Structure 1
Amino acid sequence: MNELIARVRGMILAPAQEWRTIQREPVEFVPLFTRYVMILAALPAIAGMLLLMFFGLFFTAIASAIVGYILSLVGVIVTAKIVEILAPKFGGPADADAALKLAAFAPTAAWVAGAAIIIPILGGLVALVGAIYALYTLYLGVPIVMRVPQEKALTFTLAVIAVAIVVNLAVRLLTGIFI
């Protein structure tokens, strides 16, 4: 748990430095998912569930949390694969491990801030700020983790953001369809 907290703190307070640390670390899919992604992705799902339950929407709350959570996890995997495919088009290597790192750690601020959605209105603003900051941390991580040349980093980041938006819209659409 201390490692999780330290990583979250690093991604929020010193993301460029944290990306350099992440870039040097080996990555294994299962530990990364079970000890980081699955925990943090649960924060906004649980907060949203509790908010809906407060308004008496028990079945909707539980179904929305479960489906949204699962689709968010799938979204990380899909985004990582797309990042891996896009990297060579921008001068970076097709590195599955690096793409997984980028897709798994970039949304940290969004997940943490997403827990604030339990607070009506204000929580949505906090979550929005967290999402925007997550995009900034993504930009910082692209040249470090994906080794895309600096002159192409902004274009690559914008392409990844476009992909992430499409993936997230698909996740939200699917969530709406299943509930």
Structure 2
Amino acid sequence: MILNHIWGLYAHPLEEWQTIDNRHESLLYSLSHILLIALIPSAMGYYSAVHLGWSIGAGDPVYLTHDSAIMIAVAMYIALIAGVFALSYLAHWMAKTFGAEPSFTQTLELAAYTSTPVFMAAFAAFYPTLWFIVCVGLVALSYSVYLLYTGVPILMHIPYERGFIYASSVVTCGLVLLVIILAATAILWTNGIVSPVFS
């Protein structure tokens, strides 16, 4: 089953990383995981924006039109997948510096499974209130960083101390990618290419 590691990453992450390392699924398997799990934030963003309405402060809920929400959901889906691939490429590129020689599939597994909690946090959009989404997102991001720090030494087969520095470098790259995605979003919205249309 494509999503069979999700429960293990929450219940017993160290053992699950060991299982992932022992199996080393194919590139297609990891890609399937990303393609499925990235649907969650895109679908939830669409559903909450069109049917539930976002509460920002004390005013009335804000709704988007169907067409606008679909366009933003598709753009989000593409950006999330591109972000995971970019992070896995950067992790692969930096690996030799830290004495690791992983395949691209290994770094893709690392990026895919560490990003899973952040993607799954999108279920919080069933209650689309800004403060709640931010709180759930911060918890999910913290757990993703924890998964990264625990997964790097196991998947990359390097000592914990070197893995800590490697994981810190990957976190830095992830933050840079996040800023790039946010900047691209702001540019697209400002120029009216993917700007929201309120209903």
* TM-score, L = length of structure 1: 0.90
8 Å contact kept, 1:117–1:124: no
CA distance in 2 between counterparts of 1:117 and 1:132 reads 18
Amino acid at match of 1:38: L
CA distance in 2 between counterparts of 1:72 and 1:83 reads 16
**Candidates 7, 17, 25, aligned match of 1:19:** 17
Partner of 1:71: 79
**Candidates 40, 43, 46, aligned match of 1:43:** 40
CA distance in 1 between counterparts of 2:143 and 2:19 reads 19
Structure 2 residue runs of 5 or longer lacking an equivalent are 54-61, 195-199
Q: Secondary structure at the match of 2:24?
A: coil
Amino acid at match of 2:100: G
Deviates further, 12-21 or 23-32: 23-32
Kindly provide the CA deviation profile for residues 76-105 of structure 1, in whole angstroms up to 9, marking residues without a partner as x.
111111101111111211421211110111
Q: Is 1:122 paired with 2:119?
A: no
**Candidates 117, 137, 145, aligned match of 1:135:** 145
Q: Is 1:56 paired with 2:63?
A: yes
Structure whose residues are more often helix by fraction: 1
Structure 1 residue runs of 5 or longer lacking an equivalent are none
What is the identity percentage for the equivalent residue pairs of Structure 1 and Structure 2? 26
| Residue 3 to residue 28, structure 1, CA distance change in 2 (3 Å) | closer
8 Å contact kept, 1:48–1:118: no
Q: Secondary structure at the match of 2:157?
A: coil
Kindly provide the CA deviation profile for residues 8-44 of structure 1, in whole angstroms up to 9, marking residues without a partner as x.
111112111111011111332223222x111111111
CA distance in 1 between counterparts of 2:73 and 2:183 reads 14
Partner of 1:93: 101
Moved segments of 4+, more than 6 Å: none
CA distance in 1 between counterparts of 2:179 and 2:68 reads 19
| Residue 94 to residue 21, structure 1, CA distance change in 2 (3 Å) | closer
* TM-score, L = length of structure 2: 0.81
8 Å contact kept, 2:30–2:108: no
Q: Report the CA distance between 1:127 and its aligned residue.
A: 2.0
8 Å contact kept, 1:11–1:109: no
| Residue 3 to residue 38, structure 1, CA distance change in 2 (3 Å) | closer
Amino acid at match of 1:29: L
Partner of 2:176: 166
CA distance in 2 between counterparts of 1:89 and 1:97 reads 18
CA distance in 2 between counterparts of 1:175 and 1:162 reads 20
Note the aligned Cα RMSD (angstroms). 1.7
